[in-house]
Structures are given as C-alpha cells and as structure tokens.
Homo-oligomer: A and B are copies of this chain.
Amino acid sequence: MAWLRSLARFSRATKPYAADLPLFPRGGGAAASFCTGVAEAGFSGLGPTEPGGEAKPRVVVLGTGWAGSRFMKDLDTRAYDVVCVAPRNHMVFTPLLASTCVGTLEFRSVAEPIGRIQRAISTAPGSYFFLANCTRVDPDAHTVECETVTDGSTDTLKPWKFKVSYDKLIIACGAEASTFGIHGVKDHAIFLREVHHAQEIRRKLLLNLMLSDVPGITHEEKTRLLHCVVVGGGPTGVEFSGELSDFIIRDVHQRYSHVKDYIHVTLIEANEILSSFDVRLRQYAINQLTKSGVRLVRGIVKDVQPEKIILDNGEEVPYGLLVWSTGVGPSPFVRSLTFPKSPGGRIGVDEWLRVPSVQDVFAIGDCSGYLESTGKPVLPALAQVAERQGKYLASLLNRISKAGGGYANTAADIDLGDPFVYRHLGSMATVGRYKALVDLRKSKEAKGLSLAGFISWFIWRSAYLTRVISWRNRFYVAINWLTTLIFGRDISRI
C-alpha cells in the first residue's frame, strides 16, 4: 500500500500555481520557464522558446472554431509546436448543429475533438491543448495570460491562471451571439452555437412535450409550453424551424399523439428571412415553411420575459421554448483588446490577416475584420470565410517557417506572398421536408445559379457530408440520417 501512502502525502499548503514548483514543461529543454522568469506575477506557464534551441517555434492558437481548427489542421507541425487555448476541446460542425436539437443527428456526430484534427496536440512533447480562456494578450512580451475553465463540475478545483509565450499568436476565438441589448434574452432564450445549446433545446423540448400531457395542466399552459419561438430568420433560424417542423410532422404525431395538435412553431424576423439569398429562393423558403406549419411573423422583439416575449407593437407572445439566432457581435474578450478595430468592432487585420500594429499576431474568423485602411469590406461571419482564412494562414505560416521566420520577432522582412482573397462559393440552407435552397451566386448582387427543392436538399446533404472533417463523424452522420429515416428520431430524455 506504499503507493496509497505516496498518493496521500498531500501538502494542503501547496498552491497549485505556486511559482516555486518545478513546472518546467516536459520536452521544452531549451525553454526558460515562467516559474523563475515571471515569478513576481505568481503565474506559471510555458516560457519563451529560443532560436537555435531544441524547442521548435511555438504557435499559440486561441479557439477551436472553423478558423482555428482549419489552421491547426494545415499547420506544418514539423516546423512548429502548437498550443491551443480554448474553452472547449472540440470543433463544432455548426451547419449541422440545428439537426441535433431534435435528434436527426446525434450530438457527437457534429463534434470533432481537436486532437483528432491535429494529432500533434495529443502526442508531440511541445504541443498542448489547454482548456482555458485567454484573458489578456501582451504583444510586447509575446505572451498570453489564460485562466482554466473548470465549469463548476469539479468539487474543489478552483480556476487558476497561467501564461504562455508565443512565437506566433493566432486569435481565432470567434464572436458571441448578439442580443441587441434586449432585456431578458440571456436569461430566458437559448442560443444555437454550441453543442450544449442543442442539448439544452432537446431536453427542454422533450420535457415540455411530456409535461403538457400530464393531468392538471390548463389548455392555455399546454399551448404555451408547446409553442416554440425562433427569433432570427437567418440560415440557422430557418434550418432550426425546418427541423422542428419535420420533428413535429413525423415524430410528435407518432409518439406524442395526445398533444400533437398543441405544438406550434413561430419564426420571428424583423426584416426578410434569409436576406442574403436570391429573392426567388426566399419566396420558396417562405412557402415551404408555411406549408410545414411554421408561422412567420415580422416583428421586433422588445422584451423577453420568463414565459412570453413582447413585440414592439405591444403584442405578447407566450412561449415554452425560445431560440435566439440573430447573428453575432464582438465578444467581451475582443472588445477588451487594445488593437485597432475594424468597422463593427472586430480585431482589425491587414490583407495578410496580420494585426499590423504589432509583431507576430494574426486574427482570423468571426473575431477579425479588415481594417478600414485596407479599403476592403469586413467579410461576413460565415464558416466558409473562417475556414478559408485558417487554410490561408496555415500556408502563410508554413511559408514563413521555411524562410526562417518561425521564432518571435524574426519575420519582419520575409516576403509574405499573395494576400488573402475571399471568393464566395455560394450559400445553402435546408427548410425541412427534404427541401433545401442552394444559391451559387458569387455575391448578393451578382447573377448565377440558384435552385430550390429536393435536388438542392440532396446537394445540401452531400456537400456537408463531404465537409465533415473525420471519417468517424462522416460515418456517424450517414448512420444517423439512415436511422432517422428508418426508425424516426430518438426521444429518450437523457
């Protein structure tokens, strides 16, 4: 039992982030640790690498979204060590997230662990994934300060802070759902951006379906519980409404036949739904959704209360489930950064996606936008923009490494090659009942192919199936679609 005793030899006086402990990163032989370097701050962490030392230059990536994940996937890990700092250890395949809310797909089929996207993070001695939020960037010292995410689920482990030195910093931490300052949204509505949002929607939907069948509930209360309100008529809101109506038409009618006449879906949008799509497709979507029983309401939400929302014309809309998808805006972290901003408050970048006021800092995805000085418009917050930027930046950093500029402050004079150019490949959205829209125009004003219907739906499914990153998840998405077709959606509330 000697091992038990050695486990038990705990000193409660020892702080987990005390600066005097041997916290030197394994494998980083040439690195200087913060344990001594910045002891005055009381932080430990990964110290700077040294050109000519054993350690490769270190790329720190903030975020595991489309931009960061694609960047890490394509980065040459023979040339760089990768340290990823993010509050979740997986990428979410967001275009299919709406399907998981009703069980068309399972949650894990749309989540891709970052260690599967870039294996070096799991295995290379100098590459890490840290479950943490970045709280501060010090571009002069080339460090980021981070705080661990423990989300309250461990009994006594308090979050702690640490520092990581970077040779290159990639800010890809995304945006946050915008509420336009409307009161009550954060308290009562559910966003649809993370897997846990989809889980919450599914649990709540199934709970409401079951509770509305229990004796003692009034007609009004039942109608409210089963009223699903979606605010925001962009692709996410429309696709979720379509999935919901599919779920109602097929699964609720079969499995909750007692309450099937009470459930309704309402989609509230202040302007046009799917405003980026061709007008013909928009009309098609409106017809399809209406045919599926989705009520389309044009209105502006003024206030969100626990059981009802108030529209600007004073109308009250009772709801049992409220999903909010009205686009995104800069996160508090992005707002806290002192870098010059693009129009709209994103981190300003030049045409090579650099933050031009400092060395070795790049920003990609929804958190970044072209500076006004570039003369280019800020790109839309789309997965395809983020992914293309990640891909471009990985090849840029691979090029920089080949030219000998991998370490901090060594890339100033390197030829960066062509700047990033975004070419829109088109947009897709499904509207339920095996129907979708495909708009292949290059921009909102351009002419080009656009189609709607079953063939579009088939294109939509095939296209996304090929875009799913791992073979494992591609397999599971296909299997989920198959079993949903054969057996219907799973209604276990787990």
**Is A154 in contact with B204, judged by CB distance below 8 angstroms?**
yes
- Distance of A149 Cα from B266 Cα, bound (Å): 27
Pick the contact of A113 from B123, B162, B491 — CB < 8 Å? Answer: B491
Within 8 A of B (CB), among A1-58: 1, 3-5, 7-11, 14, 16-18, 21-23, 25-26, 34, 43-46
Chain B residue with the shortest CB-CB distance to A486: B472
**Is A216 in contact with B23, judged by CB distance below 8 angstroms?**
yes
Count of chain copies? 2
Pick the contact of A494 from B22, B199, B217, B471 — CB < 8 Å? Answer: B199
- Distance of A17 Cα from B131 Cα, bound (Å): 46
- Distance of A90 Cα from B210 Cα, bound (Å): 12
* A210-B129, A490-B113, A492-B113 known; A318+B108 contact, CB < 8 A: no
- 23 pairs from A and B in contact (CB 8 Å cutoff): A1-B297, A3-B295, A7-B224, A8-B317, A10-B307, A16-B218, A17-B216, A23-B215, A45-B215, A46-B215, A89-B206, A89-B493, A131-B214, A148-B211, A148-B214, A154-B204, A155-B306, A156-B306, A160-B217, A163-B215, A470-B487, A472-B483, A472-B486
Is A180's beta carbon under 8 Å from chain B? no
Distance to closest chain B CB from A41 (angstroms)? 12
Within 8 A of B (CB), among A240-280: 254-258, 266
* A471-B487, A490-B108, A494-B107 known; A129+B10 contact, CB < 8 A: no
Number of interface residues of A (CB under 8 A): 109
Within 8 A of B (CB), among A88-108: 88-90, 106-108
Contacts of A295 on B, CB cut-off 8 Å? Answer: 3
Distance to closest chain B CB from A214 (angstroms)? 5
Is A203's beta carbon under 8 Å from chain B? yes
Pick the contact of A491 from B115, B317, B476 — CB < 8 Å? Answer: B115
A11-B220, A25-B215, A148-B211 known; 13 other A-B pairs, CB under 8 Å? A7-B317, A89-B210, A108-B490, A111-B490, A113-B255, A129-B210, A131-B210, A131-B211, A150-B211, A153-B200, A160-B217, A162-B215, A470-B487
Chain B residue with the shortest CB-CB distance to A210: B131
Contacts of A163 on B, CB cut-off 8 Å? Answer: 215
Distance to closest chain B CB from A9 (angstroms)? 7
Distance to closest chain B CB from A76 (angstroms)? 20
Chain B residue with the shortest CB-CB distance to A491: B113
Is A130's beta carbon under 8 Å from chain B? yes
* A131-B207, A150-B211, A491-B89 known; A16+B216 contact, CB < 8 A: yes
Chain B residue with the shortest CB-CB distance to A476: B483
> Which among A22, A203, A220 has the greatest number of chain B C-beta atoms within 10 A?
A220
Is A458's beta carbon under 8 Å from chain B? no
**Is B122 in contact with A255, judged by CB distance below 8 angstroms?**
yes
> Which among A16, A156, A164 has the greatest number of chain B C-beta atoms within 10 A?
A16
Pick the contact of A255 from B115, B154, B199 — CB < 8 Å? Answer: B115
Residues 209-232 of A, flagged 1 when their CB comes within 8 A of B and 0 if not, give: 011011111111101110100000
Pick the contact of A216 from B123, B160, B188 — CB < 8 Å? Answer: B160
- Distance of A490 Cα from B3 Cα, bound (Å): 31
**Is B155 in contact with A307, judged by CB distance below 8 angstroms?**
yes
Is A315's beta carbon under 8 Å from chain B? yes
- Distance of A208 Cα from B266 Cα, bound (Å): 42
Is A182's beta carbon under 8 Å from chain B? no
**Is A315 in contact with B161, judged by CB distance below 8 angstroms?**
no
Is A112's beta carbon under 8 Å from chain B? yes
Distance to closest chain B CB from A33 (angstroms)? 9
**Is A492 in contact with B218, judged by CB distance below 8 angstroms?**
no
Is A169's beta carbon under 8 Å from chain B? no
**Is B122 in contact with A492, judged by CB distance below 8 angstroms?**
no
- Distance of A494 Cα from B494 Cα, bound (Å): 14
Is A61's beta carbon under 8 Å from chain B? no
Contacts of A132 on B, CB cut-off 8 Å? Answer: 214
Is A424's beta carbon under 8 Å from chain B? no
Contacts of A358 on B, CB cut-off 8 Å? Answer: none
Contacts of A148 on B, CB cut-off 8 Å? Answer: 211, 214
* A16-B221, A318-B10, A494-B108 known; A128+B254 contact, CB < 8 A: no
Is A195's beta carbon under 8 Å from chain B? yes
Contacts of A123 on B, CB cut-off 8 Å? Answer: 254, 257
